[in-house]
A and B are shown apart, each in its own frame.
Chain A
Amino acid sequence: MTYLWAFILGGAICAVGQFLMDRFKLTPAHVMSSFVVAGAFLDFLDIYDRMIEVAGAGAMVPITSFGHSLLHGAMEQADEHGLIGIAIGIFELTSAGIASAILFAFIVAAIFQPKG
Chain B
Amino acid sequence: MNRVNTWTFQNDIYVQATGTVVGPLESQGPIGDAFDESLDDLHDNKKSWEEAERTMMEKAIAHCLRKDETSMKEVNVFLTGDLINQNVIGSYTARDLNVPTLGIFGACSTSVEGISIGAALVDGGFVSNALTAVSSHNATAERQYRYPTEYGSQKPSSATFTVTGSGALFLSRQKSDLRIESSTIGRVVDFDRSDPWDLGSAMAPAAADTIKTHLEDKGRSPEYYDLIVTGDLSSVGTPLVRELLKEDGIDITENHRDCGLWIYSKDQPVFSGGSGCACSAVVTYGHIFEQMMSGVYERVLLVATGALMNPLMIQQKESIPSVAHAVAFERVKHE
Contact at B42–A116, with CB atoms within 8 Å? yes
A7, chain B: closest CB distance, angstroms: 22
A83 contacts the other chain (Cβ, under 8 Å)?
Answer: no
Q: Name B151's closest neighbour in chain A (CB-CB).
A: A28
In the bound complex, residues from chain B placing their C-beta under 8 Å from that of A15 are: none
Contact at B149–A114, with CB atoms within 8 Å? yes
B316 contacts the other chain (Cβ, under 8 Å)?
Answer: no
A17, chain B: closest CB distance, angstroms: 10
CA distance A28 to B148 in the complex (A): 13
A113 contacts the other chain (Cβ, under 8 Å)?
Answer: yes
- Residues facing B in A1-60 (CB within 8 A) are 21-22, 25, 27-28
Contact at B153–A28, with CB atoms within 8 Å? yes
Selected from B43, B153, B156, B195, the residue in CB contact (under 8 A) with A116 is B43
Considering only CB atoms and an 8 Å cut-off, how many residues of chain A contact the other chain?
A: 9
> DSSP majority for the B interface?
loop
What interface size band does chain B fall in? 10 to 19
B294 contacts the other chain (Cβ, under 8 Å)?
Answer: no
- Residues facing B in A76-116 (CB within 8 A) are 113-116
B2 contacts the other chain (Cβ, under 8 Å)?
Answer: no
- Residues facing A in B100-147 (CB within 8 A) are 138-139
B150 contacts the other chain (Cβ, under 8 Å)?
Answer: yes
A residues with CB within 8 A of B: 21-22, 25, 27-28, 113-116
A-B residue pairs, 10 tightest by C-beta? A116-B139, A114-B150, A116-B42, A116-B149, A28-B153, A116-B138, A116-B49, A21-B154, A113-B43, A25-B195
